[in-house]
Amino acid sequence: IFFCTFGFFFFLFHLQKLENMKKWFLISIAVVSLGANAQIKAILGDWRTVDDKTGEKRSIVTIYKGSDGLYYGKISKMLMYTDLDLKCDQCKGEDYNAPIEGLVIIRGMKAEDGQLVGGKVLDPESGKFYYGKIYLKDGKLVLRGSLDKRGFLGRNQTWIR
């Protein structure tokens, strides 16, 4: 009887420790999740694109969450007067000859670990789609467009608020 009672209390003691470990594990996951969610919220909103060659601000892109739960980015305003009437003449399908201002260039991204991944990015100058990844670095938005899903073959663009 002594061993049964001792074994039962030993089991309860370790069960209590296990419950505490579970609680701390769940709390740590919640904290990490909140941090990642804050990163995504910081990505949303208006960003100024910068020309890679000249350094001039070209447009304002608004990044938003769609009704389907995925993330999108639209050129909401062209900043250079020479670009105001540009059309996407290199685009295919429904985007062909669409005005650049108002064009959705970031499509179908999902939130993962504080980044937006898994979608496509349209380059309106070439009309080509690239795999996309968006994250924040030093308060700036980094858009990685690549030929491959893993992001090895591509380049970064940095946008500012």
> How far is residue 156's CA from residue 13's CA, in Å, rounded to a whole number?
54
Token pair of 14 as six digits: 């370790």
Higher pLDDT, 28 or 156: 156
pTM for the whole structure: 0.76
DSSP state, residue 160: B
pLDDT tens digits, 120-149: 999 999 999 999 999 999 999 999 999 988
Average pLDDT over residues 10-19: 63
With residue 5 as reference, give the H or E element that holds it: helix 2-43
Strand partners, 159: 141
Q: Residue 26 pLDDT > 80, yes or no?
A: no
